[in-house]
């Protein structure tokens, strides 16, 4: 579900100025370094059992998706978007995360829907499914619409 809050005149102006800046200024992507040692150790320890139980490889992306999901639930404003027509902030009570997958024509970003209900196996299965659809050229526009946060490796 979603909750809507009317934008004050001040927030409307700030939103308009930020959008103007996005359209006219150079954009920045940040990269954060972190110690992946514990996650690599966890993956190496459990990858065989995970594959045997779930029939899919245990990658790193599932950990990234579920960590981002937790953060987006903790800070709902980051998971929100602005409805320009209604002049409202729309807070989502669900988390839809776009993930980059390879296609013959380059990277595409299908959306993992309701990641707050997924576990590692669900995330890995969905990524594999979208990867296969991308390779076969079968991704639809609906598959790639609606994510509020994107993860690319």
CA distance 120 to 58: 8
| C-alpha dihedral (14, 93, 125, 123), degrees to nearest 10 | 70
Q: What is the pLDDT of residues 39-71, one digit of tens each?
A: 999 999 999 999 999 999 999 999 999 999 999
Which tokens belong to 42?
């966890």
Average pLDDT over residues 125-145: 95
Tokens of 139: 């991704």
Q: Nearest to residue 97, comparing CAs of 132, 139, 65?
A: 65
The reported pTM is 0.83
Identify whether the C-beta of residue 4 lies closer than 8 Å to the C-beta of residue 83. Answer: yes
């Amino acid at each position: 579900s979603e909750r809507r809050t009317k934008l004050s005149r001040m927030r409307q102006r700030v939103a308009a100025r930020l959008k103007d800046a996005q359209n006219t200024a150079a954009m920045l992507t940040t990269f954060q370094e972190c110690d992946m040692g514990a996650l690599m150790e966890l993956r190496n320890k459990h990858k065989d059992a995970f594959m045997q139980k779930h029939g899919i490889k245990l990658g790193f992306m599932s950990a990234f998706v579920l960590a981002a999901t937790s953060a987006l639930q903790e800070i709902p404003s980051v998971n929100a978007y602005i409805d320009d027509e209604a002049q409202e902030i729309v807070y989502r009570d669900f988390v839809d995360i776009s993930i980059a997958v390879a296609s013959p024509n380059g990277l595409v970003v299908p959306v993992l829907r309701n990641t707050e209900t997924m576990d590692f196996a669900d995330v890995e299965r969905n990524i594999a499914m979208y990867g296969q659809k991308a390779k076969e050229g079968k991704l639809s526009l609906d598959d790639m619409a609606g994510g509020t946060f994107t993860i690319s490796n």
